[in-house]
Amino acid sequence: DANENDDPFIFKYGGIYFPSTHTSPQIIDSVQDFEIRDSDVFLITYPKSGTVWTQQILSLIVNEGHRNGTEEIQNMSRVPWIEYNLSKMDYDSRPSPRLFSSHLPYYFVPRDLRNKRGKIIYIARNPKDVAVSYYHFYKAIKKVKQKKDWETFLDDYLSGKVLSSSWFDHVKGWYTHQEDFNILFLTYEEMKKDLRSSVRQICRFVEKELDEREVDTIVEKATFQNMKQDPLANYTTVPEDTLDVKIATHLRKGTVGDWKNLMTVAQNEKFDKIYSEKMIGVPINFTWDI
Ligand code: A3P
């Protein structure tokens, strides 16, 4: 694939930009052959859409709201990335239900998932807040040498010249191929508005019956404030050569509508125009501000 990205550590494969620090075309290819167990749960997102948040929720649900099973274990290892070799874990020996994370587009995930084996939780976030969150996050990626100003980053994002490529293609791809998979589709904003209800929906989907108290504990442990202070949940212990956590962490603001603080009127108009062109046939009702 032609690589229009000016960061040398980024490679393009199957139309998608990946970090060579974490993966390779061989790894991406091998993911498709990954053998699925019916109990497997895959958390799939475009970056900056609430992945770490949902890793926390999902791992707590599976462990019945208490620390047994999550104690001393980083979120990243509880719900490891299928396409990255960061952790080099032995996925075969993991007990069921196994939990995985992924930023892959629908056409790159394990083939078995398409036969409706395993479960997928897809989280989408309004793309303006994703852009702002991604802009801040990009500043902390160690391998990105040339830090871009907001205007330039926004253009790159809108044309898909960032890691994981186009937000539009990712969300549209997953949304329009929902029928092919066993999938629960949630938005960041609905989680933000009613976390308890989202926790319950995830419980039902992964077939885990929890009592009110257990749900309460999960909601409590998944608030922005609590996660920010929890080193097992906040990704501040990522390998030093990947992210500068003094510049940005995964938990920055955790709000809906932060784009209003950065986007100019002209940028917003351009965004809306591109959105309405690209998202034809995708009736997701994003909340743009709370
Ligand atoms: P902001 O940069 O807007 O604050 P990801 O995990 O996919 O990289 O997404 C990161 C975004 O999710 C960040 O957005 C982060 O603050 C937000 N987030 C993480 N945990 C959260 C929580 N418990 N509640 C709300 N937002 C959360």
Q: Estimate to the nearest angstrom the gap between the alpha carbon of 229 and the chain centroid.
A: 20
Q: 1 in a domain, yes or no?
A: no
For residue 10, report the distance from its CA to the centre of ligand 1, in Å. 23
- The count of domains in the chain is 1
Model confidence over 176-224: pLDDT tens digits? 999 999 999 999 999 999 999 999 999 999 999 999 999 999 999 999 9
Q: 284 in a domain, yes or no?
A: no
Quote the pLDDT of residue 233.
Answer: 84
Q: Is the CB of 52 under 6 A from ligand 1?
A: yes
User: Which ligand 1 atom sits nearest the alpha carbon of residue 129?
Assistant: 3
Q: How many CA atoms lie within 13 A of 165 on its CB side?
A: 20
Q: 97 in a domain, yes or no?
A: yes
DSSP conformation class of 90: -
Model confidence over 115-151: pLDDT tens digits? 999 999 999 999 999 999 999 999 989 888 888 999 9
The pLDDT-based confidence of 87 (bands split at 50, 70, 90) is low
Q: 288 in a domain, yes or no?
A: no
Model confidence over 28-71: pLDDT tens digits? 999 999 999 999 999 999 999 999 999 999 999 998 766 566 66
Quote the pLDDT of residue 242.
Answer: 83
Evaluate if residue 248 carries a pLDDT over 80.
Answer: no
Quote the pLDDT of residue 89.
Answer: 66
**119: three-class secondary structure by DSSP:** strand
Evaluate if residue 90 carries a pLDDT over 90.
Answer: no
Full domain range(s) for residue 232: 10-278
Q: 198 in a domain, yes or no?
A: yes
Query: Cβ atoms within 10 A of the Cβ of 136, count?
Result: 18
Q: 257 in a domain, yes or no?
A: yes
Question: What is the average pLDDT score of the chain?
Answer: 92
* Residue found under tokens 């990255």: 84
Single out the residue of 3, 16, 11 nearest to residue 167, CA to CA.
Answer: 16
Q: 127 in a domain, yes or no?
A: yes
Q: Is the CB of 138 under 6 A from ligand 1?
A: no
User: Which ligand 1 atom sits nearest the alpha carbon of residue 136?
Assistant: 2
Query: How far separated are the first and last CA of the chain, in Å rounded?
Result: 40
Q: Is the CB of 75 under 6 A from ligand 1?
A: no
Q: Is the CB of 103 under 6 A from ligand 1?
A: no
Q: Which of 71-80, 102-111, 238-247 has the highest mean pLDDT?
A: 102-111
CATH code of the domain covering residue 150 = 3.40.50.300
Q: 156 in a domain, yes or no?
A: yes
Whole-number Å distance between alpha carbons of 22 and 232 = 21
User: Which ligand 1 atom sits nearest the alpha carbon of residue 226?
Assistant: 23
Element (H, E) at 276: helix 265-278
Tell me the two tokens of residue 252.
């920055």
Q: ipTM of this model?
A: 0.99
Query: Cβ atoms within 10 A of the Cβ of 290, count?
Result: 9
